[in-house]
Amino acid sequence: MQFKEIIGQERIKQQLVQTVKENRISHAQLFLSPVGSGAVPLAIAYAQYINCLDKGEHDSCGVCASCRKYERYIHPDLHFSYPFFASASVKIAVDVLEEWRSMLTQDPYFDMDIWRSKLDAANKQANINIAECHDIIKKLSYKAFEAETKVLIMWLPEYLDKAGNALLKLIEEPPANTLFILIAQSQDQILSTILSRTQIVKIPKLTGEEISHYLIENNGLTDHQAIDYAFLADGNLIEAKALAADTQSDSSGTFTSWLRMGFGNKVPDLINFTDEAAKWGRENQKNFLRYGVNYLRECCLILSGAEALVKLPPLTLETAKKLSEHVLSLPMAEAIIAELEKAHYHIERNANPKILFLDVSLQLVKIIKFKTLPAGTQYIYN
């Protein structure tokens, strides 16, 4: 993986290259990055650059003996650790290394849902267990086979339970020429003992322009479509790709027609909608709910007089403006957002989509009709 293959993130690439040139590579780094921003490919490209035998100014050569092995993720001094689903045949991460490599080869932009689907793990609980921690300690205690720097990339240290403390000594005083890169999505969920021993590298989410540019180049979308999907994906390339793969979807159209049914108090239509939505499949259901949240957040900006900050594409913006001027109020929008977020939470946890979409649709009607807020919210509507 070379830096040039990675979308956007120019500032971070430069920063990483600089640490190599100035010989100040911190031995334990925590890449903190939102899902779909490319932290995994960045970490691999960084490690490849460090070990490249013929480094360029800005990138690894891609063809030396080290790069060739890195490109296939088979370098003997490149180790990976990641959450997995322990079973009788899978005791440590290496037991599913083939699946991991094949996922990386297919597309280095992935998330936990994609990894879960590769492992066919259904609803099992993933983690990075004590056996895996011991395997890491063992692996890193060996001398490097051929590289100057041994690298261990751990994806999602959030999945380390208390067992993670077994790694503290290793992270604090690693064997010579060892680089530890942890890639996390959420700082709050990492053991504080680990957090305090690593250097944090914050990787921003991709910009709307970077994503829409990618979609136009790679998926042949029109500008309008690409901007719409980039908006919906909110910096997450994985999601943008999933949306682009399903070019039939018209997120803004579907969502605004759902809102219209609510404002028109058309309960029979909403019930029909619920039946349809139940057949979409979980990813599309999640997309719909997420789109709704993003869309209404933009409406809140319009309603608060901050229209200059709104990122909607022109046609969608027109509808949002009309809606905000005529029927929607700020507390209403906030209450609907809360319902959509709640539904998203439950759909991720395998709730029955039919019941769920019916519930959120009826809540919509209730919020509009009675201008009430869901139980538990503190806000009092006047």
Cβ proximity to Zn ion: between 147 and 335 the closer is 147
Q: Which of 64, 97, 216, 317 binds Zn ion (CB under 5 A)?
A: 64
Q: Which of 20, 25, 61, 94 binds Zn ion (CB under 5 A)?
A: 61
Report yes or no: 215 and 193 within 8 Å, Cβ to Cβ: no
Pick from 307, 309, 288, 302: nearest CA to 364 = 288
- How many Å apart are CA 82 and CA 72, to the nearest integer? 18
Binding piece for Zn ion, criterion CB under 5 A, among 67-75, 112-120, 144-152, 196-204: 67-75
Q: Considering only residues 20-59, where is the footprint of Zn ion by CB under 5 A?
A: 52
Q: Does 221 bind Zn ion (CB under 5 A)?
A: no
Minimum gap (Å) between residue 107 Cβ and Zn ion: 23
Binding piece for Zn ion, criterion CB under 5 A, among 20-28, 62-70, 168-176, 211-219: 62-70
- How many Å apart are CA 190 and CA 162, to the nearest integer? 10
- How many Å apart are CA 98 and CA 245, to the nearest integer? 26
Pick from 127, 156, 153: nearest CA to 140 = 153
Q: Does 60 bind Zn ion (CB under 5 A)?
A: yes
Q: Please name the amino acid found at residue 237.
A: L
Pick from 172, 198, 183, 146: nearest CA to 45 = 183
Minimum gap (Å) between residue 89 Cβ and Zn ion: 36
Minimum gap (Å) between residue 75 Cβ and Zn ion: 11
- How many Å apart are CA 298 and CA 292, to the nearest integer? 10
Minimum gap (Å) between residue 53 Cβ and Zn ion: 5
Show the tokens assigned to 136: 């890491």
Cβ proximity to Zn ion: between 147 and 299 the closer is 147
Q: Which of 16, 67, 151, 336 binds Zn ion (CB under 5 A)?
A: 67
Chain residues in the site for Zn ion (CB under 5 A): 52, 60-61, 64, 67
